[in-house]
Amino acid sequence: MKFVIWGFQSDVEIKKHFLEILDTLVSEKHVLYLLDSFAALLDIEYPQVHIITEDEIPADTDFIISIGGDGTLLSAAQAVMRSPIPILGINLGSLGFLTSLERDWRPGFTKILKGHYHIEERMVLNCRLEHADGSEETLWALNDVVIERADVFSLIALEVHIGDELLNRYLSDGLIVSTPTGSTAYALSAGGPVMDPGLDAILITPISAHTLSVRPVLVTGEKNIYINLSTPDSNAQLHIDGKNTRQIDASLRIRIRPSSYRIQLVVIPENSFYEKLRKKLHWGQRST
């Protein structure tokens, strides 16, 4: 099999696990590629590994192995957004809602190498920025598109349409538009519901809305969502999966809808979505 090993940070623990994974794969004669920036951080020399850039990921890669937390997996997802390459996440971070394996990854990893896994497809958001001069930019998000105030002392006014119909004019710190996958990320902290990742729906969650009656709204994945700043001199920041940031103003219209792309995640039955919820959110456990 052919694997690309992905990461963007290194410490003693990450390097230790990385070397163990590498030894396992080399001993089984798999073809291995390592992201150049990750190789530089790890500061290792391993002649059996091909060092590549993000643009050189082979199209016939079997898996990308993401070593880190959810943020690491999200960065890998951005790299293969338009390629059907499955991602296997090994969680060395904190929560790890997107990853399949934890720090005790060895038994699960062995099963995966023997073919005991399945692939889950996750919705991706297509976020198109429509500028006043007619130019456009398209971005993709596995988790969420977040619009936040640029000025820490001022609220922002956002007008949101679902198709041709006005949903609401929000006065708030911002707005989170998330996939079902992203419902356990920033949207959860802002009071949104947990969504089954297989749903075809988009969640709109206000951030600290100035009206107590405003609540998160779930809309069908068939709809286009249009957002713009509703006061002429407003400025805000737009974030894609917490990383890809743009400065925006009232001259811009944002259109969000489900993308035709899907991210493929490698999943094992022992670590299902509902199992993760129970364990990571400590459901059913009494406080002491």
Name the token pair of 72: 């690491």
Considering the candidates 23, 60, 70, 104, report the single residue annotated as catalytic.
70
- Angle of the 106-113 helix axis to the 12-27 helix axis, nearest 10: 30
Beta strands in the chain, from DSSP E residues, in sequence order? 2-6, 31-35, 49-52, 63-68, 87-91, 118-130, 136-141, 144-149, 156-162, 165-172, 174-178, 201-207, 217-220, 225-229, 235-240, 244-249, 253-267
Distance between CA 39 and CA 37 in Å, rounded?
A: 5
241 noted as active-site residue? no
Backbone angles phi, psi at 174, to 5 degrees: 160, -165
* CA 241-32-113 angle, 5° bins: 85
Beta-carbon count within 10 A of 78 CB: 18
Residues known to be catalytic: 70
